[in-house]
Amino acid sequence: MDMTRRHLLGFTALGLAGLGVAGCSSIPGLGGNEGGGDALARPVDGARTLIAYFSLPLTDDPENMNRDEENSTHVVDGKVLGNTQHVAQIIQARTGAELFRIETAQPLPLDFPVLEKQALQEQESDARPELKALVSNLDDYDTVFVGYPIYWYDMPMPLYTFLERHEFGGKTIIPFTTHGGSRLSGTVEKIAEKLGDATVVDNAFTISRDDMDSAEDEVGAWLDSLGVTAG
């Protein structure tokens, strides 16, 4: 579920971000956002690619959802998926990569006002929530797609834990995000600052929660623009 300060004023808008910066290698972006340029410097091998994502659907019941639950989910064949989870699964189907869901050790609240407040408190205190699990075999992967929604114009704080608890040196990092209006909020730049020894692709994928019905086509076009072939 995306959240911004404007939500508290009754305007539900959220965002994502995608931009490489000094301190790490970056690959110019194309397609799906503000970028335009070159494809990936090396081909994506599905067997050596990981899709790590954070997604928190507020319900698993496809019936009688409230507005916040609808905003956080997309239903596929009767199954409720988080928006970012849905994008991750589309990438997985296209690439044949492995999936890893980033989860906190302590379950997060599924009541949106409570979750929103907790997310803001964590951001203001620069918290690093403990994760349920880490990737035990990260050395097996050359390329890592990293997916998340935007919480308060930033990555959810568990993403900071994830990035800081793993070694990404020499890997290609490809961010993707879901949002409710604020698009790219500088988070890819923050990833690039964090991962100084990685190559962070500045062509992050971004899609509004209102456009999830077209996610398969949009993700496909983005992967095409990167030169990612079917796995």
Residue 97 contacts residue 50 (beta carbons within 8 Å): yes
Q: What is residue 84's three-state secondary structure?
A: helix
Does residue 50 form part of some domain?
Answer: yes
Q: Any long-range contacts for 134-142 (C-beta under 8 Å, 24+ apart)? A: 134/162, 134/165, 134/166, 135/50, 135/52, 135/100, 135/166, 138/50, 138/166, 138/167, 138/168, 140/48, 140/50, 141/48, 141/49, 141/50, 141/98, 141/171, 142/42, 142/45, 142/48, 142/49, 142/171, 142/172
CATH number at residue 86: 3.40.50.360
pLDDT (0 to 100) of residue 2: 65
Does residue 204 form part of some domain?
Answer: yes
Q: Could you list the residue range(s) of the whole structural domain that residue 181 is in?
A: 5-35+46-226
pLDDT (0 to 100) of residue 38: 55
pLDDT (0 to 100) of residue 1: 61
Does residue 155 form part of some domain?
Answer: yes
The segments of the chain whose pLDDT lies below 70 read 1-2, 4-38, 231
Does residue 145 form part of some domain?
Answer: yes
Does residue 231 form part of some domain?
Answer: no
pLDDT tens for each residue of 139-172: 999 999 999 999 999 999 999 999 999 999 999 9
Does residue 129 form part of some domain?
Answer: yes
Provide the number of structural domains found in the chain.
Answer: 1
pTM of the model: 0.86
pLDDT (0 to 100) of residue 19: 26
